[in-house]
Amino acid sequence: KLFTDRIEKESRQFFIDGNTFFSDVEQFREHSSFQMFERDWSTLMIRKFYTLTSLSDKFASYVSDWLPIHLINADLMDETVVTLKNEKFLVDLIGMKGIESGIQNILHFSRYFETMRLKKDIENMLEKSSPVLSIIESLSSNLQCFGASMHSKDPHQESIGRSFILLGVELQMFSKWVESQDYFTKALNIFIQMGYKRDHPEIVRLTKFAESCVLQKVMLVGLDSPHKLCLKYVDELFVGAK
């Protein structure tokens, strides 16, 4: 953070590569000079992490918050996936932030990973299955293990149920509608075992997420019906048919 803050500050004051001046921080971030510095700095930090045999609580928190970011910025994509699927990394994260927040952090890292992965070569990458799907599957397996080790009425079960909802919503971003419903079902089973009724806020919220990816029935109506579906860009749809 100190490194990037300094780079951003100096980017407003100095010329880069002799002629180019960047008054906009985001513009400078896209420049090869910044990307090179960022990659080298991230690599240096990663080496430091791996040489430490023990971490203070404060530094352990920094590692949990920043190690995946440094791995991604250093272009160590395979290592990033391994880290995000690592059970100890998840357990340490949950120990510091709680179950739901720990899962959220992993998903935030995964989104950044996916953004950078596609940014490198979007045409080829889109044809491949995203590694994020395997990360989500790993998180699901760990959540199931955590849940199995607790009593069904344990208050932490609610956090596990809410975490399954997070995973289901994340899968929707990859158009994995059936799989997302599986996670919603797991969350529902947890809430039912905890004794929640249909009108409980958690089940109401879960139901809305589940319904969002269910195909609604379409009925044939007249042209003058107020319930008819209006398609956008109709002309464009028929261009290829002419």
The model's pTM is 0.70
Fold exhibited by the domain 150-242: Methane Monooxygenase Hydroxylase; Chain G, domain 1 (1.20.58)
Per-residue pLDDT of the chain (242 residues; tens, 9 = 90+): 444 454 444 444 443 444 444 444 454 455 455 555 566 666 666 666 666 545 555 566 777 888 888 888 888 899 899 999 999 889 989 988 999 999 999 999 999 999 988 887 665 655 578 899 999 999 999 999 999 998 988 989 999 999 999 999 999 988 888 899 999 999 999 999 999 999 999 999 999 888 877 666 667 888 788 877 777 766 766 665 55
**Helix (H), strand (E) at residue 21:** strand 20-21
Which residues are CB-contacts of 153 (< 8 A; sequence separation ≥ 6)?
Answer: 193, 194, 195
Neighbours of 116 (CB within 10 A): 15
Show the tokens assigned to 225.
């019906």
- Domain boundary assignment for the chain: 150-242
Amino acid letter, 1: K
